[in-house]
Amino acid sequence: MRWKARFSGRALVPTLGVVLGIAAAVTAIGWSTAVAGPAGGPGAVFEATHLPPLLTTSGERIDLAYDVHCAAAGEEVPDAGCEARGTAYVRGIGGDSFTALPLEERSLDGRRQLAVVVPDALAAPQRGLEYFAVLEAPDLGRRLVVPAGGAAAPHVSRQLDGAVEIGLGRHTFGSDGRPAGVRVASAEWGDGATNAGLEQSRGLGPIGASSFDVDSLGNVLVLDQAHRRVLRWVRGSHVPQRVPISINGTLADLAVAGDGSIFVLETTAPPGRNPMIRRFDDGGRELEAIETAERSTSQIRMDAESPVVLGGSSHLWMPVMVAGTPASPGEQLRRGRVGRRPRGGTEVIVLRHENEVRIAVVDGRGVARSWRLTSGTPLAEIQLAEPVGQQVVLVVRVYDGARDEFVVLILGRIGLVDRFPLDSADWAETMPLGRFRLVGRSLYRLGSTPSGAFVDRFDLEVR
């Protein structure tokens, strides 16, 4: 392994106080990890990715692994990597102090990693652990805290005991049993008053109607980002209202608050900035512009108390408003959580690993309910996982070499209550995880065909 020669085996074991200071400093001075070089020349690179083991099973080892990418300024052939080292700080959930675990070098599938297997004794019995890591590239003078909120907002790995096991078998594509749904909104592609627009350019497929949401009254709002407006179908109406909004016109996500205000998460950012969230009143007047904490942010949703965004590098859900006031990027980082809270106190946590999906509903005492689903057909992304009463509605995509569909699953206390497939209906590109919303007991789906975009409603029999 060629990078080993430059890799330090020395562990970084500072005191917790130092670590917390580092974390606070990183949070205070910036959350961006990219390092710009001089114009025209390559700068230093030091970044890391980490897939947190959010949900584990009894007896499963907890492996904390960080893929590390680094290159010195001016180095155009960076295969040799650079000296890097790190420490994970771990404690049982609710514990008082973190224990430092040196990260060791290893290579997995050709990826350079800093990693450690957590000793069983460090996890809280029946519950799990909290952790973060500090990574350093001393030759570059760079340091990363992962997640950036450090001790204030660590990753959490929970243990599933007694999860309901569900085997989905092999999926049959194109099968019967698809509910028709009720079409509650539709717009043909075009540039007219009631059309939805398409971004089109060379190399890009069609991109349009990039996201949607449904308010508590059942009004459907579709983000027509190409025309920089929202199309709003008042419940029962077939003709949309137009709400012009000031956005940058690229792929963006949408969430509607209980007071009718509209939150738009842009995914392309102004130079040198992170993506912006723009809040508008129901008439389209801009109320706030809030900078997100990370350079890549993939979703915005309304939780019970606040709009939250999902950070691309931390994998944490972060509130962007606190007590009605915009949260600074630093505050967003310090309040990050691994799960959403769409219905008040309970948190929903998901993990898809290969052909298995794990889901936990967590309350103040720990994991209240959990499921493990295995599939004979490859699983792609989880589009939605939200509790309704004692059940959970899950939407996941299944695929093979040539086909894909969504599967809607209703999970009950002792097993699978219902399931049905839905066509992917994704002729145009949208926000990748913006295709489904659950409001009350109704599931809404944003789809598209070569003629236009639409929203269908499926009324679920859930308790």
Partner 1 sequence: MLRTRHLVTTLAVAFALAYAGTAAAYHTRFVADNCNYAPPTPTSYITRDGSAAVALRARHEGYQWAGGCWNDNDRDDSPNDPHENPYTGGEGGDCSGFTFKVWREALSTADSGFHQWGLLRFVHGPYTAATFKAGAGAPNVTAPKSGLVKMDALASDGHIGLIYAVNPDGSDQIIEAKGEAYGTNIWTRTYRGSSSYSGVRRVGWSS
Under rule CB under 8 A, which residues in 312-331 are in contact with partner 1? 312, 315
In the set 9, 15, 28, 76, which binds partner 1 (CB under 8 A)?
76
Residue 373 C-beta: closest distance to partner 1, Å: 12
Residue 234 C-beta: closest distance to partner 1, Å: 31
Binders of partner 1: how many residues, by CB under 8 A? 76
The two tokens of residue 238 are: 């077939």
Q: DSSP string of 217-255?
A: T--EEEEEGGGTEEEEE-TT-SS-EEEE----SSSEEEE
In the set 3, 31, 132, 458, which binds partner 1 (CB under 8 A)?
3
Q: How far apart are CA 101 and CA 277, in angstroms?
A: 37
Q: By CB under 8 A, what part of segment 172-201 binds partner 1?
A: 199, 201
Per-residue mark of binding to partner 1, 87-126 (x: CB under 8 A): --------------------x-xxxx--------------
Strand, helix or coil at 130? strand
Residue 310 C-beta: closest distance to partner 1, Å: 8
Q: By CB under 8 A, what part of segment 27-56 binds partner 1?
A: 34, 36-43, 45, 47, 49, 51-52, 54
Say which amino acid occupies 300: I
Question: How far is residue 267 from each of residues 3, 270, 276, 311, 443, measured CA to CA in Å?
Answer: 35, 10, 8, 11, 25
From the list 131-139, 142-150, 164-172, 266-274, the region that binds partner 1 by CB under 8 A is 266-274
Residue closer to partner 1 by CB (options 19, 398) is 398
For the chain, first and last CA: distance in Å? 55
Q: How far apart are CA 247 and CA 228, in angstroms?
A: 6
Q: Does 5 bind partner 1 (CB under 8 A)?
A: no
Q: By CB under 8 A, what part of segment 221-250 binds partner 1?
A: 249-250
Q: Does 154 bind partner 1 (CB under 8 A)?
A: no
Residue closer to partner 1 by CB (options 186, 297) is 297
Residue 233 C-beta: closest distance to partner 1, Å: 25
In the set 8, 261, 296, 374, which binds partner 1 (CB under 8 A)?
296
Sign of CA dihedral 176, 177, 182, 187: negative
Q: List, in sequence order, every residue forming a beta bridge with 358; answer none if it has no partner.
A: 351, 372
Please choose, from the candidates 157, 147, 63, the residue with its C-alpha nearest in 3D space to the C-alpha of residue 362: 157
Residue 394 C-beta: closest distance to partner 1, Å: 11
Q: What angle do CA 92, 96, 98 make, to 5 degrees?
A: 65
In the set 174, 203, 236, 364, which binds partner 1 (CB under 8 A)?
203
The two tokens of residue 318 are: 């972060």
Residue pair 283/310 in contact (Cβ under 8 Å)? The answer is no
Strand, helix or coil at 381? strand
Residue 97 C-beta: closest distance to partner 1, Å: 27
Q: Does 354 bind partner 1 (CB under 8 A)?
A: yes
Q: By CB under 8 A, what part of segment 433-452 binds partner 1?
A: 433
Strand, helix or coil at 173? coil
Burial string for 175-206 (b: 16+ CB within 10 Å, else e) reads eeeeeebeebbbbebeeeeebbbbbeeeeeee
In the set 87, 195, 210, 267, which binds partner 1 (CB under 8 A)?
267
Residue pair 240/233 in contact (Cβ under 8 Å)? The answer is yes
Backbone angles phi, psi at 265, to 5 degrees: -100, 110
From the list 143-151, 202-210, 282-290, 360-368, the region that binds partner 1 by CB under 8 A is 202-210
In the set 21, 167, 192, 205, which binds partner 1 (CB under 8 A)?
205
Residue closer to partner 1 by CB (options 244, 249) is 249
Strand, helix or coil at 425? coil
Residue pair 200/207 in contact (Cβ under 8 Å)? The answer is yes
Q: Does 70 bind partner 1 (CB under 8 A)?
A: yes
Residue 66 C-beta: closest distance to partner 1, Å: 11
In the set 71, 101, 115, 252, which binds partner 1 (CB under 8 A)?
71
The two tokens of residue 228 are: 């920089």
Residue 216 C-beta: closest distance to partner 1, Å: 25
From the list 19-27, 77-85, 119-127, 364-372, the region that binds partner 1 by CB under 8 A is 77-85
Residues in the chain: 463
- Give the max Cα distance, the chain: 68
From the list 146-154, 230-238, 424-432, 441-449, the region that binds partner 1 by CB under 8 A is 424-432
Q: Does 81 bind partner 1 (CB under 8 A)?
A: yes
Residue 414 C-beta: closest distance to partner 1, Å: 25
Q: By CB under 8 A, what part of segment 362-421 binds partner 1?
A: 378-382, 396-399, 401-404
